[in-house]
Structure 1
Amino acid sequence: MALVPLAGAVVITPVWRSAGRTVRGKTRTRNEDAFLDCPQRGCWAVADGMGGHQAGDLASQWVVNDLAALPMLGCFEQRIDSVLRCLRALDSRLGHTAVQPGEGRTGIMGSTVVALLLQGNRAACIWAGDSRCYLWRGTRLYQLSRDHSLLQQLMDKQHLSLEQARAHPDARALTRAIGAQQPLSLEVLELSVRPGDVFLLCSDGLYQGLSHGQLGQAMAERTPSQVVERLIREVLRGPAQDDLTAVVVRP
């Protein structure tokens, strides 16, 4: 904890420790994931360029760069609103951006995003797409975000099992994303932070390579860097065809 003087008083503010890493998938020619690790400003994010589209690596990097450039000022509600406005502006920008033919890539530029804001004992998770935010609290792992994907939609609306939904040929298609050329709907979840809480932001290439139990076991490691390295190491033992990214945050 840090002691910060404010108008003659002493306010205790949490000091967050974090670590992040991204690795290119074993069958990929370029990494289309990107992440933001900014504990001094209480802001973290993971973005995953839309598979099957061009310039996914540029789209995800734009998401991270724009979030990193935000002035994280004001109250917590103002910070959340700033992130929402930033992502909506970027959605419009990506939706109207054509990749130059000279770059050898054409088509839609799009990306998922999951962002975490922390201030005092307050947290906010903001997302669009299937990159996820998890919370390790006590000895349990909770998935805070809910995927914006056809897979999730099939399970929710048609009551299919996970195995049945996965059999759909378009199961991995996203229903929301930044730059997807449709009105952007961002989801926000706010919660109170408790002592010992640990957060994980990750792309689908990471969580698809591990079971819920494996994710939880890794989250019990002592430091954020140890958690990240264990997660990456365990995924790389398997096929790891997709790019994988993890950002871990704890007090």
Structure 2
Amino acid sequence: MDIEQALEIVSVTHPGVARSHNEDSVAYDASCGLVVLADGMGGHNAGEIASGITVSLITTEIKHSLESMRPEDRGKGGEDVGVELLREKVRKANTSIYHSSQSQPQYAGMGTTVVAGLFYDNRLAVAHVGDSRMYRLRGEIFEPITRDHSLLQEQIDRGLLSQKDARLSKNKNLITRAVGVDPAVEAEIQVHAVQVGDIYLICSDGLNDMVEDNEIRATLHMLRANLKLVAKQLIEMANDNGGRDNVSVILIKVNGEFAVQRGWLAKILSWFKN
């Protein structure tokens, strides 16, 4: 199945109740299986600039790279193509934002989180920096597949805080890694096998800070047949619970397989496309 037919994608972003402008940026391109979300930070609307640069650069450049690459060649070479592309483009976004912040005083210190997912060949490569998240609902199991780069997560990992106490902590928004703050950054990248029926949720912390994971899971599970309704409901839940931050979600449902055609069949099909 063509990847655009195999994936159903919905995105929504909202400034929240307490903020006057939105520093989150979201984008997706179903034709190449790409989804990107960034949550910016910095004064004078600089966070909006940082998140916008990141989302635009990653989306544009990965799409261009994939269009210039034959499907049967995606996966050849030393490193998985999804990992290679995501790592390279996050680094490039980091350099662009860092140079802008150094050359323009009003943007000094700006940065952004990012979660970028690339679906291809029945797989998902996901790169993340910061505390925006990706979750997966597979059957009855709902779980995060990214791990926050935050002071809070480090305290949990060291056994200094329980998950329950963490939700009450005042250090929720202290991230330990961001795009554009330092001259270089490394995204954490994973590759997962994808199954038909999977639903993936990418969100800024404006959702998971306001809504418990079990409530997110229940909403996804109950309304999974209508992704637009799920997205609308999640935004409303975050805002009803205080809406202290911008809140953004991208939902991806896998409706079919999208394996890359290889070997003699791929060659024959390519003759008809040329």
Question: What TM-score, normalized by structure 2, do the two folds share?
Answer: 0.80
What CA distance in whole angstroms lies between the structure 2 residues aligned with 1:165 and 1:212? 13
What CA distance in whole angstroms lies between the structure 2 residues aligned with 1:168 and 1:123? 32
Kindly tell me: are residues 234 and 183 of structure 1, through their superposed partners in 2, closer, same or farther at Cα, counting changes over 3 Å? Answer: same
Identity %: 31
**Post-superposition offset of 1:174:** 0.7
**Post-superposition offset of 1:139:** 1.3
Match of 2:36 among 40, 45, 64: 45
Which residue of structure 2 lines up, in the alignment, with residue 225 of structure 1? 228
Kindly tell me: are residues 231 and 168 of structure 1, through their superposed partners in 2, closer, same or farther at Cα, counting changes over 3 Å? Answer: closer
Asked if the contact 1:53–1:108 (Cα under 8 Å) also holds between the matched residues in 2, the reply is: no
Written as runs of structure 1 = structure 2, the 5 A alignment for 1:112-191 is 112-165=113-166, 169-181=170-182, 183-191=184-192
Structure 2's unaligned 5+ residue stretches are 256-274
What CA distance in whole angstroms lies between the structure 1 residues aligned with 2:211 and 2:47? 24
Between structures 1 and 2, the one with greater helix share: 2
Query: 2:10 aligns to what SS in structure 1?
Result: strand
Which residue of structure 2 lines up, in the alignment, with residue 97 of structure 1? 100
**Post-superposition offset of 1:168:** 5.7
Which residue of structure 2 lines up, in the alignment, with residue 35 of structure 1? 26
Q: Which amino acid aligns with 2:89?
A: C
**Post-superposition offset of 1:157:** 2.3
Structure 1's unaligned 5+ residue stretches are 3-11
Which residue of structure 1 lines up, in the alignment, with residue 261 of structure 2? none
Question: What TM-score, normalized by structure 1, do the two folds share?
Answer: 0.87
Kindly tell me: are residues 198 and 96 of structure 1, through their superposed partners in 2, closer, same or farther at Cα, counting changes over 3 Å? Answer: same
What CA distance in whole angstroms lies between the structure 1 residues aligned with 2:42 and 2:100? 17
Written as runs of structure 1 = structure 2, the 5 A alignment for 1:59-74 is 59-70=50-61, 71-73=64-66, 74=69
Cα RMSD of the aligned pairs, angstroms, is: 2.2
Which residue of structure 2 lines up, in the alignment, with residue 58 of structure 1? 49
Give a deviation string over 1:75-122, Cα, whole Å, max 9, x none. Answer: 152233122111112212212223746xxx442120000011111311
What CA distance in whole angstroms lies between the structure 1 residues aligned with 2:91 and 2:213? 32
